[in-house]
Structure 1
Amino acid sequence: MDMDRLRDLTRRRPVLVLMHAQSDPDALASAHLLLKAFGEGDIGTFSEMGHNAKRIAEELDIPVIIGPRPDDYKVIAAVDAVSPEMLSPDVEITPDLVVDHHLPHGSWDGALSFVEEDRPSCVEIVIDLLDGLGIALDRRDALIALTGMIADTARFRFANARTLMTAARLLEEGVDMSEVLAVVESEHCFDVSRRIAHLKALQRVEVRRAGDMLIASTSVSAFEGSAARILLQAGADVALVMSAKRNDGGRISGRAGPRAVARGVHLGRAMQSLAESMGGWGGGHAGAAGMSVPGGRLEEALVACGSRIAEQVSERGGNEDVDDVA
């Protein structure tokens, strides 16, 4: 059984738990809890963490090694990453253990994998694994887990019944929801640089129609994920935000609202196939995904991604009727 294999694996220490590039709060929470299963090791990433994860790591005192040495560890685990390229495009990584909730990519050959695409957050899967190992969570663990869960479900908007039951159980550890939200929604989240990025995203936006669906595209230098959410709040059904990264090509973050997802939009599938065709990598969920491509093809990828989304709407019976409206 997989749990027996996992139990055997946790006896090999130390472990390096790797997060994806520009890691988010869900990846951080997943890594923290998975490390608890081994009892000895480190959390690592080969790039800077995302702004929110970095702030939460500092606030909740979660040590993270930037640029770890995999050879120093007996076990390599990967969390919240759809492929090895998401861990590092430069360092060849062969994980022994993978825990993820994205569309399966098929590139984790040989690893013990716990992949459940229907789980809104990765940390939920890790909690189930700890339950299977008989490892209890303390109050701090519950707080960290809830920050990841709330962040990845957009404040529970994409939660399902299992998510809410898990959250309720975590709150029983003595955590107050207002405390969790205070961490996730810290004033630092809305500092001047983030607000400027949001305003620039709105200023540069281009909108196209696919039937009665609005697909908004824009560019920022940072905070692309939160900028995409701002576009949804402004009325877009799908938001695509590109950001050029120094020495790392560029990245496109996508968000789709519930109406778009119900109409057949799946950003993860669109970005995964498109990124692979352009020499990059990508993936995610129906309503939230990302892709990285070589810098010279970033604008091309943004346009192509919008077209893929319009095709998905058309395939589900929507009148594609694509027009640029702004």
Structure 2
Amino acid sequence: MIYSIACGGGLLKEVLLIKMIRGVGKIVITSHQNSDVDAVLSCYVAKKIIDKLNPRATVDIITPGMNLQARRVAESLGIAAQILEKDSLPEYELCLMMDVNNLTHIGVLRNYVTRDKPVAIIDHHRPSINIPPNALSIIDEKAVATAEVLCDVLIGLDLKPTREEAQCLLIGILSDSRRLLIGTEKTLRDVAFLLSHGASLPEAIATLSIPMSYSERIARLKASQRATLYSLGQWIIAVSNVGSYEASAARALIDLGADLAAVCNELDSEVRLCARANEEFVRGTNMHLGEELERLGSLMSGSGGGHASAACVTAPRQCGEVINEFLALVSNKLRLPLKKID
């Protein structure tokens, strides 16, 4: 069953979610590979909500791995020990997928998500063709973060968050919204709701203001040094490659002036390309990077997806091939010739 917040019917999805949670004894919560701050904190708060709804249930949080910022934030909040990083899931009666709805994006953990066990999804990404067929999906594409969707679930269930839960959700929203640079009126209402329950905006910003590591700064600088530039009509595209922090490096190229940036990283048996776009590019082209990279991933025997202005694709190819396919995809989509800038 697929059910979206965007389609309305709030009471139904609340009742279905409560029924699923209260009807089982073993629950596992998971998220996507390289889990970010929003994903990790949403998993943690989901566990706290489940503890209230079904105190008898055993609840485990298992991700295929956190990114460095998420790990540092979890450590600073004193919750890192509750976020397990493993390549397998234990026996469960309900699997809750947070900040992800594409099974391929949870890596090897997908092998443990079976059709005969119920699955629930809380997410803010565009629905994928790889959503588990047996899933109850609560998806709001207009939300800037899964923490925002989870905040709406709290409100819908008439559950009052503790100060710790409110703080975690606020940090998740701030992280994915780039400190509220993007968002909607509802995002601000949700932030106000969290503040009214004890969350602190200065503390949340301070938690996220962890100094960038030496290796991340080097990756961003190397991406700039190695960048190849192209023009596509009025738009400037930058592509590059690094050995780590490809998402951060792509964002750095946008901050330097590119309209669209893609940075590739060669992993053990595959490559990961992260793309970022500024708001002017998204509005001016009506191009949704998540949708396009999901399609590219399928064509290259890999997986991809994300948001309109931020997405990634992983495929068993070489960086050069993936970058060329990405450039061709953008050129064909916009029906504009690609010209290299010397």
Shift of 1:298: 3.2
Equivalent residue runs for 1:244-255 within 5 Å: 244-247=266-269, 249-255=270-276
Corresponding residue of 2:9: none
Give the counterpart letter for 2:83 in structure 1.
V
Shift of 1:302: 1.6
Q: Would the aligned equivalents of 1:222 and 1:243 in 2 still touch at CA under 8 Å?
A: yes
Please state if 1:182 is matched with 2:206.
yes
Please state if 1:142 is matched with 2:154.
no
Corresponding residue of 1:2: 13
The whole-number CA distance in structure 2 between the counterparts of 1:45 and 1:192 is: 26
Equivalent residue runs for 1:76-115 within 5 Å: 76-89=95-108, 91-92=110-111, 93-94=113-114, 96-107=119-130, 108-115=132-139
Corresponding residue of 2:77: 60
Q: Would the aligned equivalents of 2:152 and 2:190 in 1 still touch at CA under 8 Å?
A: no
Task: Determine helix, strand or coil for the equivalent of 2:160.
Answer: coil
Give the counterpart letter for 1:96 in structure 2.
V
Greater CA deviation, 173-182 or 62-71? 62-71
Shift of 1:292: 0.8
The whole-number CA distance in structure 2 between the counterparts of 1:13 and 1:130 is: 21
Equivalent residue runs for 1:192-271 within 5 Å: 192-247=214-269, 249-263=270-284, 264-271=286-293
CA RMSD of aligned residues (A): 1.7
Corresponding residue of 1:317: none
Corresponding residue of 1:305: 326
Q: Would the aligned equivalents of 1:267 and 1:285 in 2 still touch at CA under 8 Å?
A: yes
Shift of 1:68: 6.2
**Corresponding pairs, count:** 316
Task: Determine helix, strand or coil for the equivalent of 1:70.
Answer: coil
Q: Would the aligned equivalents of 1:25 and 1:148 in 2 still touch at CA under 8 Å?
A: yes
Shift of 1:256: 0.7
Corresponding residue of 2:41: 29
Distance change (3 Å), C-alpha of 1:61 and 1:72: farther
Q: Would the aligned equivalents of 1:101 and 1:120 in 2 still touch at CA under 8 Å?
A: yes
The whole-number CA distance in structure 2 between the counterparts of 1:68 and 1:131 is: 34
The whole-number CA distance in structure 2 between the counterparts of 1:202 and 1:297 is: 20
Corresponding residue of 2:92: 73
Show structure 1 runs of 5+ residues with no match: 315-319
Equivalent residue runs for 1:271-310 within 5 Å: 271-294=293-316, 296-310=317-331
Q: Would the aligned equivalents of 2:87 and 2:109 in 1 still touch at CA under 8 Å?
A: no
Corresponding residue of 1:51: 68
Show structure 2 runs of 5+ residues with no match: 1-11, 52-57
The whole-number CA distance in structure 2 between the counterparts of 1:193 and 1:149 is: 26
Shift of 1:267: 0.6
Task: Determine helix, strand or coil for the equivalent of 1:175.
Answer: coil
Equivalent residue runs for 1:142-161 within 5 Å: 142-161=166-185
Q: Would the aligned equivalents of 2:32 and 2:99 in 1 still touch at CA under 8 Å?
A: yes
Tell me the alpha carbon deviations over residues 82-104 of structure 1, each in whole angstroms, 9 at most, x when there is no partner.
31111124641246101111111
The whole-number CA distance in structure 1 between the counterparts of 2:167 and 2:327 is: 37
Corresponding residue of 1:163: 187
Shift of 1:204: 0.6
Q: TM-score w.r.t. structure 1 length?
A: 0.92
Greater CA deviation, 93-102 or 54-63? 93-102
Tell me the alpha carbon deviations over residues 125-181 of structure 1, each in whole angstroms, 9 at most, x when there is no partner.
111112222322111112211221111112222211111111122122333322111
The whole-number CA distance in structure 2 between the counterparts of 1:21 and 1:268 is: 16
The whole-number CA distance in structure 1 between the counterparts of 2:109 and 2:95 is: 17
Give the counterpart letter for 1:4 in structure 2.
V
Q: Would the aligned equivalents of 1:270 and 1:305 in 2 still touch at CA under 8 Å?
A: no
The whole-number CA distance in structure 2 between the counterparts of 1:299 and 1:239 is: 15
Distance change (3 Å), C-alpha of 1:90 and 1:30: closer
